[in-house]
Amino acid sequence: MFIKKLLIPLATCLLIACQTSSTGRRQIAFMPDDEINKMGTQAFEELKTKQVISQNTRYNNFVNCIANALVQQVGGSWEVVVFEDNSLNAFALPGNKIGVHSGLVQMVDNQAQLAAVIGHEIGHVLERHSNERISQETIVKQGLNVVGAIAAPQSAMGQLGISALGLGAEYGILLPYSRTHESEADIIGMDLMAKAGFDPRESINLWEKMSSASQGAASPEFMSTHPAHATRIQDLNKHLLKAMQYYQQSANNRPNCHK
């Protein structure tokens, strides 16, 4: 009876929460979007109190110029902040928040390369990846509860079995889904930057530059939440022809952002 009580809500979530991403991938995202947006907004506000916000006028103008061109393609009001941080990073959070680290601004060669990163991060928000990630983790935890109820959790074998399943869940479900999210955001970001008038070929140049910057320090792909650089570049090359069509259509709407 206990197992049945756990399985019924889990199955119900799977049935009612299936949706389709813009790339045609089936998703499970059953958390209320309003709550996810509140979480993103709260996290962003906390970041602004803990990290130094850049006062570099050139960096701020450069980043905002690029971000504004991108968000015009998706609509809504977005907050953009440049943080003083030497790491090569940018992010977007639910609630339409965009953060860019000054180290990334310094590293990119041109507006299109930074547009590739910001477009990628916006893609995560558009495809509701945070909602999907939280939903996936909830399902996995429910599944582990079921196993714990079936097995003898106090025995050494039971503990080993649950631990092994936990490791399997991490590498078999959660991380692959995360790599799927990253690959999907790459495609969404490439299309978005092209529609906004940024040369999508620069996204490939960017990741080649990122690959050189990593100097082989990346984790093996099967243990990473991001695709290997070579995989990412290969996938972007496959999609480039379609993105170039969007870019050609934006010939009369080309941004002119300089740092």
Tell me how many degrees the CA angle 147-150-154 measures, rounded to the nearest 5.
90
Q: How far apart are CA 149 and CA 146, in angstroms?
A: 5
- Distance, in Å, from the CA atom of 248 to the CA atom of 245, rounded to the nearest integer, reads 5
**What one-letter code names the amino acid at 218?**
A
Of 152, 158, 244, the residue nearest 200 (C-alpha): 244
Nearest to 246 by CA among 181, 186, 201: 201
What sign does the dihedral 243-244-245-247 (CA atoms) show?
Answer: positive
Residue tagged active-site, from 46, 84, 121, 184: 121
Is residue 170 part of the annotated active site? The answer reads: no
User: Distance (Å, rounded) from C-alpha 171 to C-alpha 193?
Assistant: 32
Cβ-contact 95, 37 below 8 angstroms: yes
CA distance linking residue 114 with residue 46, whole number of Å: 24
Q: How far apart are CA 201 and CA 237, in angstroms?
A: 8
Dump the DSSP string for 186-201: HHHHHHHHHHTT--TH
**Catalytic positions, please?**
121
